[in-house]
Amino acid sequence: MNPFPAKLASTPSAPAPTASPAPAASEPMWRRRAAQGLNQGAAALCGFALLLAAWQIVSMNIGGIPDPASTLRSAAALFADPFYDKGPNDMGIGWNIIASLGRVAAGFALAAVVGIPAGFLIGRYKRLDAICAPVISLLRPVSPLAWLPLGLLLFKAANPAAIWAIFICSIWPLILNTADGVRRVPQDYMNVARVLSLPEGTVFARILLPAALPQMITGVRLSIGTAWLVIVAAEMLTGGTGIGFWLWDEWNNLNVQHILVAIFVIGAVGLALDVALGALARHLDYKGD
């Protein structure tokens, strides 16, 4: 006997659920990165277009400010022969950029040789951190130009004095960021090293350095940016060769177009240094994406 009523028994069964369509294959990584790069490039172009428009408006309303077109023509003439040499005070812009980069490299190298080991020691030993922290807090805010007269007194020459100013002002980001990276090492790692009685050299090479590397690279980026800022100001005061001296010399000649070119060259070199170090930081980041 059928336990269900006839009406219910004759009711057609509900259709079986159909399988949902398979999700579309994920977009290739290269395509996503290409789209992201195009978006960023379009945004950058919009930003530069707004800058040029504002510059054009300013040049139309303030006398003595060259417009973008005339400045571009002046830049083209400068870079048509950037490496001419007619004496110490008449050199192409290329030689001046190289001279500034050489001073930055020398000052930064000295700062790295001193600052990175000092940062590891300060981050590793709390007693040393307590001793050095007040001194660093006192000296770090001092303006770069305040150190320049002391460099002239110590070295009796403009070039080493400029390198000294770069050294003393770019060392602080290296020390502070390296020390902070060492302090962030998990205590469990240090406990394991203590239990295994690892020598200090092994602790440095296998634990502290890999863990502190991202923070250390951040310190390098900040230090290079500081060094590039300092060298332009130092060269304005010390004279000789360099992009800072060249800019000040063009101001004495009342060549405003060349001053604007120098500003963009300084910014472009600083941007290139930061982008290169940013790529290095991403390559060395042991954490990955």
pLDDT at residue 26, as a whole number: 61
pLDDT at residue 8, as a whole number: 41
In a domain, 108, yes or no: yes
DSSP string, the chain: --SS-HHHHTSPPPPPPPPPPPPPPPPPHHHHHHHHHHHHHHHHHHHHHHHHHHHHHHHHHSTT---HHHHHHHHHHHHHSTT-BSSTTSB-HHHHHHHHHHHHHHHHHHHHHHHHHHHHHHHH-HHHHHHHHHHHHHHTTS-HHHHHHHHHHHHSSHHHHHHHHHHHHHHHHHHHHHHHHHHTS-HHHHHHHHHTT--HHHHIIIIIHHHHHHHHHHHHHHHHHHHHHHHHHHHHHH-SSSHHHHHHHHHHTT-HHHHHHHHHHHHHHHHHHHHHHHHHHHHH-TT--
Domain count, the chain: 1
pLDDT at residue 212, as a whole number: 83
Domain containing residue 132 = 92-284
pLDDT at residue 27, as a whole number: 66
In a domain, 209, yes or no: yes
In a domain, 105, yes or no: yes
In a domain, 25, yes or no: no
The residues that bridge with 91 in the sheet, in sequence order, are 85
Residue from 130, 97, 88 nearest 239 by CA: 88
Query: Domain with 231 in it: what CATH number?
Result: 1.10.3720.10
Q: What percent of the chain has pLDDT over 90?
A: 34
Higher pLDDT, 171 or 7: 171
Which tens digit of pLDDT belongs to each residue from 92-133? 899 999 999 999 999 999 999 999 999 999 998 889 999 999
Which tens digit of pLDDT belongs to each residue from 182-231? 888 877 777 777 887 778 778 888 888 888 888 888 889 899 988 998 88
In a domain, 5, yes or no: no
In a domain, 256, yes or no: yes
Q: What's the Rg (C-alpha) of the chain?
A: 30
In a domain, 145, yes or no: yes
In a domain, 152, yes or no: yes
pLDDT at residue 289, as a whole number: 41
d(CA 23, CA 116): 51
**pLDDT-based confidence at 84, cuts 50/70/90?**
confident
Is the pLDDT assigned to residue 244 strictly greater than 80? yes
Q: Is the overall model pTM greater than 0.85, yes or no?
A: no
Which tens digit of pLDDT belongs to each residue from 49-83? 999 899 989 988 888 889 999 999 999 999 998 99
